[in-house]
Chains A and B, each alone.
Chain A
Amino acid sequence: MNTIFLIARKEARSYLNTSWGISIFAIILLLDGLLFNAFALGSSPRYSADVLEDFFYFSSGTTMIAGILLTMRLIAEERQQGTDALLLTAPIQESHIVIGKFLGALSFLLLITFTTLYMPLLIQINGKVSWGQIFAGYLGLACLGSATVAIGTFGSTIAKNQLSAAITSAGILVLFLLGWLLGKVTAPPFDTIFSYLAFFDKHFQPFMSGKINSEAIVFYCSLTFTFLLLSVRVIQTRRQH
């Protein structure tokens, strides 16, 4: 357990100590702010709950982008620079490496996500929203972020460099995002399967309006677990062969 936290802390600190991490932090906050101002607030009078729903809608997009950008370097960069030898020759389990890296990236992503809290608070000052909707929205973003970071970790594990890691992870994510469309154009039983896998449409939208859906939480947790498990297997194979 100590090893996991040691790796996670090192990862999280490396985001804070490098221009890469700080740049992503700044760009995501800027994007969130601009989208909130331009689209969520709008120019005509609206219900506070609708404004908040739009805020979570845009935030889900920036969270996914941040997740891919943060994870592209996780393992691919170590491989590219040869520092993976430090981890692979250490007396630690492959799962500790993967979970440590995952937690490091996720904690930094959550820091970025929760820094946007001032925007819902601005709505609260000028209007009236329920704390439940804010809580549910952020819980949804955390679940979505967790699954994205796990997909990104997997992409970074199988790729030889950071760019191909980002492309691989984004490709997998887009496949899940298009699940709703694939569900419409395929025959049973695939339509049900694809519709269930719809990353955003089926599972995130309820969180935006303040509904906590246990099925969606289970979905995101399962996805996180699956991609972390795949990453562990890839590293095990690399270490043994």
Chain B
Amino acid sequence: MIEVRNLSRYYGDFAAISNISFSIQQHEVIGFLGLNGAGKSTTLKILAGLLSPSDGEVFIDGINWIDNPNAFRSNIGFLPEEPPLYKEMTVREFLRYLAKLRKYPHKDIEQRIETVLILCQLADRGDQIVEELSLGYRKRVGIAQAIVHKPSLVVLDEPTSGLDPQQMVELRQVIRGLSTEATVLLSSHNLTEVAETCDRLLILHEGKLIAEGDRDSLSKRMDTSKQRIDILLSKKEGIKDDIHALTGIEHISFEEQDEHLLLHLTITCTTPELVSQMVQSGFEIHQVMPTQSELEQIFLSLTGGKQ
């Protein structure tokens, strides 16, 4: 179990993170969300043993970062955004070297490497030189190195960045598979990825943890009084005046198209209520489109809507 208590990290007078507290249970997959500069990377680096906390405590399975940093590190696996790889080695040599470096029991190393290769879908690439692998496979080798010593917590920083859609789907399967043997904490800008991969979310904003919970509990906290939608209509005489006469619209902008008019709306009523009004007023509606996914709405609502 991972326990973070009142964690702060300063760079001079600037607090990159301030008084963050959370706990993670075994085998959970946690998504770490935040805008650029929110303090995600700083928190991940502390959890990975790369940075020391300025204040507060971090425990993993009861081991305190400050009291015993090396025992702490032996329980962590870390994959930075750019996978750190010794490209001249084969995948097996690379994993063997890191297992030894991280003091995994010598007699079990070969067995462990085979298990990790299967878990990361690398079984047929074990003897290939790392430099010859595609980016997707390199990311998997990056994950393999993070788990080769069987850590309690695996920290993944933007694990799918730079991958094509097919590779993303495959890597998500690998990440879900990791939860069978470790707790996984991943940061991402890709909200879809987080929604599909994680059991629970931690949302950081300006160095503070502003929300945590699963998708449903965060939806309940969302400001549901407003939402943004786009509606495509057929043009007709006096259409703009008629639209302004509708109720429940807080903000509207128009985009002229050949025979259509696209409306960008912020509404204070529900979408069905607005559509019903428009149908009754004789508008010819072609398309109604929500502009953000549910998770994007949650995220923007909690972080004050800053893009």
**Chain A residues near B (Cβ < 8 Å):** 2-3, 6-7, 10, 14, 17-18, 81-93, 239-241
Interface segment out of the listed B72-80, B112-120, B225-233, B274-282: B72-80
B84 in contact (CB, < 8 A): yes
Q: Is A92 a contact partner of B88 (Cβ separation < 8 A)? A: no
Q: Is B88 a contact partner of A86 (Cβ separation < 8 A)? A: no
Q: Is A91 a contact partner of B70 (Cβ separation < 8 A)? A: yes
Q: How far is the CA of A82 from the CA of B85 in the complex (A)?
A: 8
User: Taking A6-B101, A91-B70, A91-B73 as contacts, is the C-beta distance between A14 and B88 under 8 angstroms?
Assistant: yes
Which has the most chain B C-beta neighbours within 10 Å: A18, A91, A93, A241? A91
Choose among A82, A88, A239, A241 the residue that contacts B82 (Cβ–Cβ < 8 A). Answer: A82
Q: Is B71 a contact partner of A83 (Cβ separation < 8 A)? A: no
Which has the most chain A C-beta neighbours within 10 Å: B73, B84, B86? B84
The SS class assigned to the A binding surface is: helix
Q: How far is the CA of A2 from the CA of B82 in the complex (A)?
A: 29
Q: With contacts defined as CB atoms under 8 Å apart, how many contacts are there between chain A and chain B in the complex?
A: 58
Smallest CB-CB separation from A83: which chain B residue?
Answer: B84
10 closest residue pairs by CB, A with B: A91-B74, A91-B70, A83-B84, A91-B73, A240-B52, A85-B84, A82-B84, A90-B101, A89-B49, A89-B78
Interface residues on B, range: 20 to 34
Task: Produce 1/0 per residue, B30-58, CB < 8 A to A.
Answer: 00000000000000000011111000000
Q: Is B50 a contact partner of A88 (Cβ separation < 8 A)? A: yes
B188 in contact (CB, < 8 A): no
Q: How far is the CA of A85 from the CA of B101 in the complex (A)?
A: 13
A-B CB contact pairs (8 Å), 28 listed: A3-B101, A3-B103, A6-B101, A10-B86, A10-B97, A82-B80, A82-B82, A83-B84, A84-B84, A85-B48, A85-B78, A85-B84, A86-B84, A86-B98, A86-B101, A86-B145, A87-B101, A88-B49, A89-B76, A90-B73, A90-B98, A91-B70, A92-B70, A239-B50, A239-B52, A240-B52, A241-B51, A241-B52
Q: Is A90 a contact partner of B102 (Cβ separation < 8 A)? A: yes
Shortest Cβ distance from A237 into chain B, in angstroms? 11
B100 in contact (CB, < 8 A): yes
When distances are taken between beta carbons in the complex, the residues of chain A under 8 Å from B50 are 85, 88-89, 239
Q: Is A92 a contact partner of B84 (Cβ separation < 8 A)? A: no
Q: Is B97 a contact partner of A6 (Cβ separation < 8 A)? A: yes
Smallest CB-CB separation from B83: which chain A residue?
Answer: A82
Q: How far is the CA of A10 from the CA of B97 in the complex (A)?
A: 8
Q: How far is the CA of A241 from the CA of B103 in the complex (A)?
A: 25
Smallest CB-CB separation from B79: which chain A residue?
Answer: A85
With A85-B84, A88-B49, A92-B101 given, can you name 14 additional A-B contacts, CB distance below 8 Å? A2-B100, A7-B101, A10-B86, A14-B86, A14-B88, A82-B82, A85-B48, A86-B84, A86-B98, A86-B145, A87-B101, A89-B50, A91-B73, A92-B70
